[in-house]
Structure 1
Amino acid sequence: MSGNTFGTLFRITTWGESHGPAVGVVIDGCPSGMQLREADIQKELNRRRPGQSDITTQRKEEDKAEILSGVFSGKTTGAPISIIVRNRDVDSSKYEELRNTPRPGHADLTYELKYGIRDWRGGGRSSARETIGRVAAGAVAKKILSSHGIEVLGHVVALGGICAKPASIEEIRENTEKNPVRCADPEAAVGMYAMIQAVRSEGDSVGGVVEIISPGVPAGVGEPVFDKLSAELARGLMSIGAVKGVEIGMGFRSAVMKGSQMNDPITIKDGKPGMLTNNAGGTLGGISNGEPIICRIAVKPTPSIGKEQCTIDMNSMDETKIKIRGRHDPSIPPRIVPVAEAMVALVLVDMMMRGGFINPVTGEK
């Protein structure tokens, strides 16, 4: 199986399966001399771990990060950083009965058709637990970005058809982590929470939209043709399992706008060129323009649901029906927020290193 590594100069390789002994990541290309503790990584892992509220899977995992290499006396050495998170609360019994019946909406069938074998315990490599490695590496990337005055902030802007009011960066900072759905609009958050509870009681699930904003990115990041910043962001975000669409700036809304509405007027801000609006989402021609980077992802409903679904028996090749039991999130968007932030942070660090904005050895400008 190839394709487990992401990035060019700042590279990560994730590994492990949902019900295996552990999952983790190897980070290659982290600058030396940066202060890094397991607590820095744990802070982000705690945001994505299961069992953090009554609307997430009740699998009980500490998700405790252990740094195995690349850090000495509290500082990065420039060597590969290996981080491991051990799986503790593993219960494969609910998956035994599904080992020969691929679950609709999951990668079971495509894995089976491609490789002829799959780890059926909790989805194996295709499980959302793979994202632990991304979030751990993203914590390191965020630390690098923060030293350059760059933030990465995610929040849920729509869930089950309930849409949040537009939020300022200050409101996103202030409100997002105060409610279990991670919505910066407190009023909409109440409705989203009720929606999740309702669909869960029906044995169903619901999807939504997550927005990621990154203020502080300087102008000039990205290349103009194939290595566009927008293209790399889309690639990174689309690599998350539940993501079915990516927007940059106005995205699909730009298709129904006039040029006079879509174009961002150019002005002078603090003695430098700037934009009066940010419909482009911080990129023009694949290159950052100095405005906040704005991305949105469409997150599908959790495919593991309690309703009866049609599938086949891979042994007999007969049609059959299944109901999925076990511990699953009734809605993915609240827990995908730190994963999406991590992917944006990883792309930004890598692209800034490639463009000379971050020294790959020292991490400085």
Structure 2
Amino acid sequence: MNTFGNNYRLTTFGESHGTAIGGIIDGCPAGIEADTAFIQSELNRRRPGQSALTTSRNEPDTVEFLSGLYEGRTTGTPIAFLVRNRDQHSKDYDAMRNLYRPSHADYTYQMKYGIRDPRGGGRSSARTTIAQCVGGAVAKLALQPEGITVRAYTSQVGRIRLDGTYRDYDLTLTETNAVRCPDARKAAEMEALIRRVKEQGDTVGGVITGVITGVPVGLGEPVFGKLHAALGAAMLGINAVKGFDYGDGFDAPLYLGSEHNDTFCNDHGRIATRTNYSGGIQGGISNGEDIYFRVAFKAVATLLREQQTVDRDGRETIINAKGRHDPCVLPRAVPLVEAMAAMTMLDYLLLMKSR
């Protein structure tokens, strides 16, 4: 399945070492200002080689729009785009052509399709998420006139984590450091950890927190199209994601019902809640409060050290991975979490408007 969404739809194509990554956006409203500089800036946030914390693969990741835009605005027709691959080192994978890399998709792709592209993981590579970032950037532009804002930040790397909630931080500081954490002291600790892990040929995971503000009441389609379920599906479709929760999530069992209920109040004529343990969603429908959620990422599976594995014939052997890889996916995954959330919100907003 290579299409995401129902009303706002993104179909993607391409492989890590192929000619290009691209996509077609269908269902985008007409007349949206197509700020191509903003779209490119979103791609720049996820591009490789942007800091010492990321892979050294040097890709410009310049987006080319082929259709669907005219005089700086969307036309309501399909928006086709390409991002060409420029810096492939496919020979790095020659020795791994017949080996299964631990915790990658090599084995499952081979068993399912009977063939796979071993160069950088082919279609299963996180490089293909370029297309999601373009789709998400266009969705952000469509959400702007509606007053809906999507932000994300790194809230944990390894065992180093931020205290409190998103309300305790100035999220405008997220882009002031390479790890994309709004707390400068914690960011320095996270960066130091990533550097140490990288020197050891190892990798480390963490958590990204997402925050959506300006959401109207009523987004979500119970019982099987609940808004939080859609956000969860979007996040779990991202490479290396192992978990998702929203509101107080897995902390909810710590509270009694009398402690956990979000009681209603009249906030200057607007019905609101005094607390927001629900994370802005009740009964699968947005209630007008901020939506906040967490996305857990595992450590990157490619280690620059020897590991045990098997070859295609089942013979046990040793793999010594080559190539250029991130020691921690978190810094470059922040814009991707935002992109998937933005596309989900626009998809559900368009559905509500169609009623």
Same fold flag (TM > 0.5): yes
- Residue 345, structure 1, aligned to residue 342, structure 2: yes
> Deviation at 1:169?
5.3
CA contact (8 A) 1:11 1:27 kept: yes
SS of aligned partner of 1:189: helix
Distance 2:346 2:164 in 1: 27
Which residue of the other structure, out of 289, 300, 303, is the alignment partner of 1:302?
A: 300
Q: Which moved more, 1:107-116 or 1:305-314?
A: 305-314
CA contact (8 A) 1:141 1:345 kept: yes
Deviations 1:66-92 (A, max 9, x none): 110001121111110011000000101
Deviations 1:298-322 (A, max 9, x none): 00101011122111010x3211111
Write out aligned runs for 1:130-145 (5 A).
Answer: 130-145=128-143
Letter of the 1:22 partner, please give it.
A
Write out aligned runs for 1:242-321 (5 A).
Answer: 242-314=240-312, 316-321=313-318
SS of aligned partner of 1:69: coil
Runs of 4+ in 1 over 4 A off after TM superposition: 167-170
CA contact (8 A) 1:26 1:80 kept: yes
Letter of the 1:337 partner, please give it.
V
Where structure 1 has 5 or more consecutive residues not aligned to the other structure, the ranges are: 361-365
| Structure 1 equivalent of residue 218 of structure 2 | 220
| Structure 2 equivalent of residue 165 of structure 1 | 163
Letter of the 1:51 partner, please give it.
G
Distance 1:72 1:169, change over 3 A: farther
| Structure 1 equivalent of residue 192 of structure 2 | 194
Equivalenced residues, count: 355
Distance 1:170 1:28, change over 3 A: farther
Distance 2:172 2:35 in 1: 25
| Structure 1 equivalent of residue 234 of structure 2 | 236
> Deviation at 1:62?
0.5
Deviations 1:115-141 (A, max 9, x none): 010010000001011100000010000
Deviations 1:194-248 (A, max 9, x none): 1001111111000000000001001111122100000000011111011110001
CA contact (8 A) 1:167 1:185 kept: no
| Structure 2 equivalent of residue 26 of structure 1 | 24
CA contact (8 A) 1:212 1:296 kept: yes
SS of aligned partner of 2:120: coil
Letter of the 1:214 partner, please give it.
I
Distance 1:187 1:66 in 2: 38
Which residue of the other structure, out of 94, 97, 113, is the alignment partner of 1:96?
A: 94
SS of aligned partner of 2:117: coil
Letter of the 1:330 partner, please give it.
P
Distance 1:53 1:167, change over 3 A: farther
Distance 2:251 2:167 in 1: 21
Deviations 1:98-155 (A, max 9, x none): 0111111111111001001001000000101110000001000001111111110000
CA contact (8 A) 1:41 1:136 kept: yes
Q: CA RMSD in A?
A: 1.3
Which residue of the other structure, out of 54, 65, 68, is the alignment partner of 2:66?
A: 68
* Percent of aligned pairs sharing the same letter: 48
> Deviation at 1:168?
4.4
Letter of the 1:339 partner, please give it.
L
Letter of the 2:200 partner, please give it.
E
> Deviation at 1:172?
4.1
> Deviation at 1:37?
3.7
SS of aligned partner of 1:355: helix
Distance 1:59 1:198 in 2: 20
CA contact (8 A) 1:45 1:63 kept: yes
| Structure 2 equivalent of residue 363 of structure 1 | none
Distance 1:110 1:195 in 2: 32
Deviations 1:4-61 (A, max 9, x none): 0011110000110000000011100011112214223101000000001001001000
Distance 1:325 1:202 in 2: 15
CA contact (8 A) 1:19 1:121 kept: yes
SS of aligned partner of 2:13: strand
| Structure 1 equivalent of residue 33 of structure 2 | 35
CA contact (8 A) 1:165 1:185 kept: no
Distance 2:132 2:168 in 1: 26
Distance 1:321 1:261 in 2: 53
> Deviation at 1:267?
1.0
> Deviation at 1:258?
1.6
> Deviation at 1:283?
0.2
| Structure 1 equivalent of residue 49 of structure 2 | 51
| Structure 1 equivalent of residue 105 of structure 2 | 107
Letter of the 1:332 partner, please give it.
V
Distance 1:104 1:4 in 2: 24
Letter of the 1:142 partner, please give it.
K
| Structure 2 equivalent of residue 183 of structure 1 | 181
- Residue 322, structure 1, aligned to residue 319, structure 2: yes
| TM-score normalised by structure 1 residue count | 0.95
Distance 2:347 2:254 in 1: 33
